[in-house]
Structure 1
């Protein structure tokens, strides 16, 4: 398991209050594959909180499966979450809102700006 992935999962609980403001809840199982080996991570999301575990506490509401190397690209911003699913490089099943919530924790690829930030900057320059 790469250090970037370990750090990503370790950071989720501290970042959740700022990221998860909407009423969301459920457990997302993330399966990371590397050859014949699969590692399971369980992320339980609730408004303002995220809990990460390596042990299944209850059946997941959704499952994301990706190669370990691809997931490292997601957590470092080299890959875009939705694009990997649309290209069928990663698979997702279950409550899609959990995948969309997880995407909020992922960094943007280098050089990409949030359109809301660009609009705010434009307004500041105009006034």
Structure 2
């Protein structure tokens, strides 16, 4: 296995995140269970910035799961929605903030945004002439 969730969160760049909506703000607490204890990570999101620290303070959204689930999410091996549908994540609070978590953790290796695929398809069509033949 690659990076653990703890390593990923410790190394997280607190700089501007263009993939986060400018108007979205809130706090999230990740409760990562494993080895008989629970690690708490507190994320504050505002103005497209994410600050992460270790705290068990109350948050707008609390997400609980086993360490293996968070580790898989940190490596892009598990999508947040998949974990939710499998009942491997427990969430409590403002569910609108769940999309932030999906954007904070990486996607699968080699994944491309749907807009990129659409642009590539349009470029492929543009390369076809009037007779339907590619030059």
TM-score by length of 2: 0.80
Residues in 2 aligned to 1:27 and 1:87: alpha-carbon distance in whole angstroms:
24
When Rg is computed on C-alpha atoms for both structures, the one with the higher figure is 2
The answer to whether the 8 Å contact 2:30/2:40 transfers is yes
Matching of residues 1-127 of structure 1 within 5 Å: 3-9=3-9, 10-14=11-15, 16-56=16-56, 59-110=58-109, 112-127=111-126
The answer to whether the 8 Å contact 1:20/1:46 transfers is no
Paired residues in the alignment total 124
Residues in 1 aligned to 2:112 and 2:18: alpha-carbon distance in whole angstroms:
19
* Equivalent in the alignment of 2:132: none
Deviation at 1:126, TM superposition (A): 2.0
Residues in 1 aligned to 2:45 and 2:66: alpha-carbon distance in whole angstroms:
22
TM-score by length of 1: 0.85
Structure 2: where are the runs of 5+ without partners? 127-135
Spell out, residue by residue over 1:14-47, the C-alpha distance to the aligned partner (whole angstroms, 9 max, x if none): 3x43222331111100000004200000000112
Structure with the bigger RCO (C-alpha within 8 Å, sep 6+) is 1
Residues in 2 aligned to 1:88 and 1:35: alpha-carbon distance in whole angstroms:
20
Residues in 2 aligned to 1:50 and 1:105: alpha-carbon distance in whole angstroms:
9
Bigger helix share: 1
Task: Extract structure 1 runs of 4+ deviating beyond 3 A.
Answer: 110-113
